Amino acid sequence: MIHTSESLKAQDSEFENYHYQLEDGEQYKLTESELGWLAFVDGRYSIADHLRDNMSSKGVYTVDCLAMSEALEADSIFCKAVCLNDDTALQHIFFYSSIEPEANPFGSLPPFPTIRKSQ
């Protein structure tokens, strides 16, 4: 099944809208306005590269939650795409489907040292 903006928005309610939370491998067909946004940001943001790499020539995006999340984080705005209208189904998919990166309270740790045997 390929999700569309209309099919997802038809399920909207006043409360939680978890129907936008898509799983890896599910597909979503971008609208004309979302494709216009993609053309505008193409080559400027990681999320655009991610979409292009995971989209068919017919504008159907195949969801990869981890790669999507990494691309959004690389653009410095976790769970939202730069310049994309908040009312679009695609922005809702990013918001609900992103996987929050694990917080590391110690920051980046150096690699574990290798102990060499003396000969």
Reported as a pLDDT band with limits 50, 70 and 90, residue 103 is very low
Query: 38-41 long-range CB contacts below 8 Å, 24 or more apart?
Result: 40/83, 41/81, 41/82, 41/83, 41/84
Q: Where do the domains of the chain lie?
A: 2-6+21-97
When the pLDDT of each residue in the chain is averaged and rounded to a whole number, the result is 87
Looking at residues 58-71, what average pLDDT do you find?
A: 94
**How many CA atoms within 13 Å lie on the side-chain side of 74?**
13
Instruction: Quick: pLDDT tens for 1-52.
Output: 999 999 999 999 887 888 888 999 999 999 999 999 999 999 999 999 999 9
- Name the token pair of 50: 């991610």
Q: What local confidence, expressed as pLDDT, does residue 99 receive?
A: 87
Q: Using a pLDDT cut of 70, give the percent of the chain over it.
A: 84
- How much is the pTM? 0.80
**In the structure encoding, which two tokens stand for residue 96, read together?**
């609900």
